[in-house]
Amino acid sequence: MSSTFIMAIDQGTTSSRTCIINQVGGLVAEARVTFKQIFPKPGWVEHETEDIWYSTQRSMRLALEKAGLTGSQIAAIGITNQRETVMMWDRKNGKSIHNAIVWQCRRTQDLCKKLKKANKEKLITQKTGLVIDPYFSATKIQWLLKNVPKASSRAKAGEILAGTVDTFLLWKLTGGQVHKTDISNASRTMLMNIHTGWWDEELLKLFGVPEKILPEICPSNADFGFTQGLGFMPDGIPITGILGDQQAALFGQACYAVGEAKCTFGTGSFVLLNTGKKAIRSKNKLLTTIAWKLKNEEITYALEGGAFVCGAAVQWLRDGLGLFPNSSDIEALAKTVEDTDGVEFIPALTGLGAPHWRPEARGLICGLTRGSTKAHIARATLEAMALQNVDILATMTKELGKKLKSLKVDGGAAANDLLMQLQADYQGVNVIRPKNLETTALGAAFMAGLGAGVWKDLAQIRKIWKAEKEFKVKMTPKARKDRQSRWNAALERA
């Protein structure tokens, strides 16, 4: 039963990771390779595309070695990725014309302001479910076309290609034979109409993007192509699943029913709520996005809210302030105090995401006294990580029209018991942590397995998913309300 293996590539913001998953959903091996972060100007974030490709290949090789497998033993490959990050490369030689512009990058704030001033937000939101923000891909592509020498003319001539990270990896894995994306990634570009599932002519014209440089949009479990020319893997391994990272986590958490939700604690934190076949248009600045589309089925939609800085705040305490040597040390440090003693940390290090959407906001630590210590700052950071998600989920449940029964969690920081208990207490719902925290990679593997016929349907996959621990609410409603009030007061100052 477990002799069938699926390779899941999880290309993230700070590292590229490959997981080998067996037919019963077990993690056979995992390998992670980090790469350089580039900050050319305040608020700008880039990656070298070759760093992404090299780290991806290396993680694939290391995972195979750890599993004791050869590439020929892989039944299928799934890809999940940082979503809105954009790259542009030469159609003939595959070389990028500029560093990748990362989803966190705020360089297109002025372009976004012009769009808002021109009253384009209603049009864009109606078609894409998104709000005008530098976060999304369209203004990044627009910036590249305007600022890279000859990029615009070469794009019109069809000499260059553009895409999100999944598209770039697929191009590389197939030896430059396939230029495709899945519908979940396309829904994050601000160039696709989420109601039709195709690139939108009016949006392409608005952003000045020629359709010929964009990939073909496919179902999430499509036949995307086959490996070619990798060397460490044979040609002909099918690539049968692609999902954006947050949609992959939703899929990997087996949130297949309307009303089921998950929160992924990564560089940022992201909450997705399955809304089924209905694209709920948010009145409260949540995003309406595509969760996935299976072959021969209708689109499945979701509501999404994301905080740009979550685990990245812990990294900043570690690297920027030197409060502890390892990110995992924050829990023990925060536990040395019972509360923050009035210290509040608003981790708006790259602006505020949902439901506030304030790209100009900046981080704030307030409430400091002579008695404040690094432990208070550490605890305030964990509390901020949880409270950001409360803001998102409170808005989300309002849109849904009913309360959540529970919240599934995943991502690296979900291993932090204190943070998970804070999330349950501040949210007022039990938090469920799965046995396999690598649900993003698991979701890519599940999708690829569906595409390759390893699993026949969602019901079969749901039986594989297992819970590891449930964090039950311990805080009183009054204490929860008081804590939220203090948080809201600090937010107004950021």
Phi and psi for 483 in degrees, rounded to 5? Answer: -65, -40
Distance CA 62, CA 57 (A): 9
Residue 2 has pLDDT above 80, yes or no: no
pLDDT tens-digit readout, 17-26: 999 999 999 9
pLDDT tens-digit readout, 445-487: 999 999 999 999 999 999 999 999 999 999 999 999 999 999 9
Residue 416 has pLDDT above 60, yes or no: yes
CB atoms within 10 A of CB 93: 7
Q: Which amino acid is at 471?
A: F
Residue 314 forms part of a structural domain: no
CATH of the domain at 173: 3.30.420.40
User: What pLDDT, on a 0 to 100 scale, did the predictor assign at position 306?
Assistant: 84
Q: pLDDT band for 103, please (50, 70, 90 cuts).
A: very high
Residue 51 forms part of a structural domain: yes
Positive or negative torsion for Cα 213, 8, 250, 474: negative
Residue 280 forms part of a structural domain: no
Please tell me the total count of domains within the chain: 1
Joined tokens for residue 265: 């604690």
Joined tokens for residue 469: 């621990």
Residue 446 forms part of a structural domain: no
Residue 256 forms part of a structural domain: no
Distance CA 398, CA 382 (A): 25
pLDDT tens-digit readout, 181-212: 999 999 999 999 999 999 999 999 999 999 99
Q: Does residue 69 contact residue 2 with C-beta atoms inside 8 Å?
A: no
Q: Does residue 271 contact residue 262 with C-beta atoms inside 8 Å?
A: yes
Residue 461 forms part of a structural domain: no
User: N- to C-terminal Cα distance for the chain?
Assistant: 54
Q: Does residue 128 contact residue 204 with C-beta atoms inside 8 Å?
A: no
Residue 413 forms part of a structural domain: no
Q: At what angle do helices 165-173 and 49-67 cross, to 10 degrees?
A: 60
Distance CA 308, CA 267 (A): 7
Residue 51 lies in domain: 5-245
pLDDT tens-digit readout, 351-391: 887 788 787 889 999 999 999 999 999 999 999 999 999 99
* Reported pTM: 0.87
User: What pLDDT, on a 0 to 100 scale, did the predictor assign at position 352?
Assistant: 86
Residues, the chain: 494
Residue 417 forms part of a structural domain: no
